[in-house]
Structure 1
Amino acid sequence: MELEQIIFKIITYSGNAKSSFMEAIQHAKKGEIDKLKNSIESGEEDLKLAHKEQTKLIQNEADGGKVETSLLLIHAQDHLMNAITIKDLAMEIVELYKKITE
């Protein structure tokens, strides 16, 4: 698979995951537990897909292949790291909303 295709998949999946986790916060705010769970599951699935694409690049390099570092690759990594951070924060915020409504 071409490097650019992998990069764009990482960006797409990471962006989708981030959006799902942000959506989960909004559902938590409204007390919409079922929708909240669906958003988290969707975000986690997209995050897994992004990791899978990232792993392809890591495995290629570990096998002696050359992965060309580019601004686009750095951008993709930034998206993935942000999605992971948003997930962690979203999970904490969701728990806070749950405690507030108990």
Structure 2
Amino acid sequence: MQQGHPRHKQLNKARHEMYLHNRHKSLVGVAAISNLFSSLGESIKTAHQKIQKAFGVINEQMSAPKNEPDISPIIYPDVELNITPLVDYDGVAIKRLTTNCF
């Protein structure tokens, strides 16, 4: 029996080697993309930490105790509040708050 033409063996071997080559190249591409995203993730992580640290310093400075006087509302017992309506050009009433101090 005839084993087959030697050219067929050569073509089959070439197809198989091309398959292995393409598979290797695709795995290299996937590894390169994976490395790219992991390095981007690391750089974003370090940038986030530096920003967080900077804002932490700002927050500590802002939250430092300040010596401010206690501001409470001043109540005048002799003040009478009157609400007088005003009318604008369109005839719509506008309310204005006025005070009459004695």
- TM-score for both structures, normalised by structure 1: 0.32
Higher helix share: 1
* Greater C-alpha radius of gyration: 2
- More contact order relative to length (CA 8 Å, sep ≥ 6): 1
Between Structure 1 and Structure 2, the one with more strand by share is 2
